[in-house]
Amino acid sequence: MARVLPLGVLVSGRGSNLEAVIRAIEEGRLPARIKLVLSNRKEARALSIAAQHGIPAEFIDPKNYPDRESYDLALAARLKEAGVELVVLAGFMRILSPAFLEQFPLKVINIHPALLPSFPGVEAQRQAVEYGVKISGCTVHFVDAGVDTGPIIAQVAVPVEDNDTPETLAQRILEQEHRLLPEVIRWIAEDRVVVKGRRVYVRKEDKGE
Ligand code: GRF
């Protein structure tokens, strides 16, 4: 039996990935518990989604901190206080400083709407459509100090159709994000994810046979 993994989720906006993680937990598909949701944006819909599900959720205003590092350390302190062991970036639109990452070594993951290392950064789906690739998708990776550069845990491919716009492609990728993110968290909860340098392996499921 997997233990219940205490999660912290960092958000900035819509919160559909947060919602997918909440649903997976509520449906018993994910042995985890969200201890705290933190947002850098007050109006993030993700905050109200968390609240609707009885999950502690806080807006922490970057304006109250003199620099990026002190803000990030405030986030890290709240997450530690809440007993968080894995930090999930679900649409968190800031780059975390090394000071934050040192507090959670290989314990921060991100979901990105492209097949990294292609199309890092913002508007990945638009980048993919404009470049003309035939396949894009989504990636869950460990977070390092770069922009979407950390070791890749899992990817799902999504074909780009001739008539796709950035919006239609984003929608189809999003459906896969909602499947992939809870699944990767489950692998981590089950202690099946092994990191060797840049390469990440997922051990086969122990069916208890
Ligand atoms: C997703 O496309 C995610 O891949 C990217 O930001 C978006 C967040 O969407 N990092 P949501 O807030 O989870 O709905």
Q: Where are the alpha helices (DSSP H) in 58-201?
A: 68-81, 98-103, 124-131, 166-189
pLDDT in tens, 143-190: 999 999 999 999 999 999 999 999 999 999 999 999 999 999 999 999
CA of 91 to the centre of ligand 1 (A): 4
55: in domain: yes
Q: Is residue 194 part of a domain?
A: yes
Minimal-distance CA residue to ligand 1 atom 6: 91
The domain total for the chain is: 1
Tell me whether residue 209 is in a domain: no
Q: Name the residue range of residue 139's domain.
A: 5-202
Residue 34 lies in a domain: yes
CATH of the domain at 61: 3.40.50.170
pLDDT at 3 over 90: no
Residue 78, number of CB atoms within 10 A of its CB: 17
pLDDT at 2: 61
126 within a domain of the structure (yes/no):
yes
∠ CA 11-156-40, nearest 5°, is 10
136 assigned to some structural domain: yes
43-72 per-residue burial string, b: 16 or more CB within 10 A, e: under 16: ebbbbebbeebebebeebeeeeeeeeeebb
Catalytic residues: 112
Q: Which residues line ligand 1 (CB under 6 A)?
A: 13-17, 46, 90-91, 111-113, 174, 177
The ligand 1 atom nearest the CA atom of 90:
13
Instruction: Flag whether 207 is in a domain.
Output: no
CA of 206 to the centre of ligand 1 (A): 31
For the full predicted model, state whether its pTM sits above 0.95. yes
How much is the mean pLDDT over the chain?
Answer: 97
pLDDT above 60: residue 30: yes
Beta bridge partners of 136: 158
pLDDT at residue 209 in the model = 54
Which atom of ligand 1 is nearest to 125's Cα? 2
Quick check: is 116 in a domain? yes
